């Protein structure tokens, strides 16, 4: 059973398009995240939701809009894609907002904008 | 702000060699410290963690000790294997749920 699953695994699209990445977790966690990993493997948090409420929103362009229909899902919609959006996007989840909790990551979605 | 600095890779070692990947942090207060590992084509997995000073995290033969005096959390393994080839990330967090990652260190073990 996959704990955190994201789709698609690979996404190639043209500049200016709008695309979505879906994420689902079956761990019963109430906190979910989106991270961006650039070509140098640097990981940076983008968003965090707890019980469908946005709790972390780093400096991310407005073209990125997360949506959490329920606490098991956190989707990422990107408008007007740009070349610099090419990266691997990781979804993750953890239980609660307590310190020391372990985050479980999905396998990543490699987005390539051409 | 909080930050994590880890040794730049790539690191290439022979099987059974001793491994050290350095990690130091800057933070106001005492964060929890983590090592995550990313195997090829996979997401990150927690390798080990330590939540307070002098704690030692260990898993799969890897160890790291939370050193408050030197603000360090170096990852060590006595005898590496080919299957340890991966990218290793040092990270910290406080109670705000946000993991701050280092830049990652790519480790390649050759037979």
Residues of B in contact with A93 (CB under 8 A): none
Cβ separation of B97 and A31 shorter than 8 Å? yes
Q: Decide which of A40 and B33 is more confident.
A: B33
Best residue of A41, A60, A91, A107 to probe chain B, by most B CBs closer than 10 Å: A41
Distance CA B59, CA B70 (A): 23
Query: What single-letter DSSP state applies at residue B67?
Result: B
Chain A, chain B: beta-carbon pairs less than 8 Å apart: 60
The verdict on whether omega for the bond into residue B63 sits within 30 degrees of 0, i.e. cis, is no
Distance from CA of A113 to the nearest CA of B (A): 19
pLDDT in tens, chain A (114 residues): 668 999 999 999 999 999 999 999 999 998 899 999 988 778 888 988 888 888 877 878 899 999 999 989 999 999 999 999 999 999 999 887 655 567 889 999 999 999
Alpha-carbon distance values, A77 to A20, A27, A42, A89 (Å): 4, 23, 21, 12
Mean pLDDT taken over chain B: 92
Distance CA B35, CA B56 (A): 12
For chain A, list residues whose CB is within 8 angstroms of any CB belonging to chain B: 4, 31, 33, 40-45, 48, 50, 55-56, 90, 92, 94, 97-108
| Bridge pairing between strands B105-110 and B11-14 | parallel
Q: Decide which of B97 and A76 is more confident.
A: A76
Joined together, the tokens standing for residue A82 give 């740009």
B59-95: per-residue pLDDT in tens? 999 999 999 999 999 999 999 999 999 999 999 987 6
Distance CA B10, CA B3 (A): 21
What per-residue confidence (pLDDT) applies to A1?
62
**Nearest CA to A72 among A28, A6, A110?**
A28
């Amino acid at each position: 059973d996959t704990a955190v699953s994201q789709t698609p695994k690979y996404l190639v699209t043209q500049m200016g398009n709008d695309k979505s990445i879906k994420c689902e977790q079956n761990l019963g966690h109430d906190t979910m995240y989106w991270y961006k990993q650039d070509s140098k493997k640097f990981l940076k948090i983008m968003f965090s939701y707890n019980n469908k409420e946005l709790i972390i929103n780093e400096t991310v362009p407005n073209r990125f809009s997360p949506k959490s229909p329920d606490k098991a899902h956190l989707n990422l919609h990107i408008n007007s894609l740009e070349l610099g959006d090419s990266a691997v996007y990781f979804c993750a989840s953890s239980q609660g907002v307590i310190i020391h909790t372990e985050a479980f990551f999905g396998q990543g979605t490699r987005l390539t904008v051409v | 702000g909080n930050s994590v600095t880890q040794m730049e890779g790539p690191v290439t070692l022979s099987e059974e060699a001793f491994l050290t990947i350095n990690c130091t942090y800057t933070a106001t207060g005492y964060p929890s410290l983590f090592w995550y590992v990313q195997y090829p084509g996979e997401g990150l997995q927690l390798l080990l963690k330590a939540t307070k000073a002098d704690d030692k995290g260990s898993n799969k033969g890897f160890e790291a000790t939370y050193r408050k005096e030197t603000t360090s959390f170096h990852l060590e393994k006595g005898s590496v294997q080919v299957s340890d080839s991966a990218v290793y990330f040092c990270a910290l967090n406080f109670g705000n749920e946000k993991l701050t990652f280092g830049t990652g260190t790519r480790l390649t073990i050759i037979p």
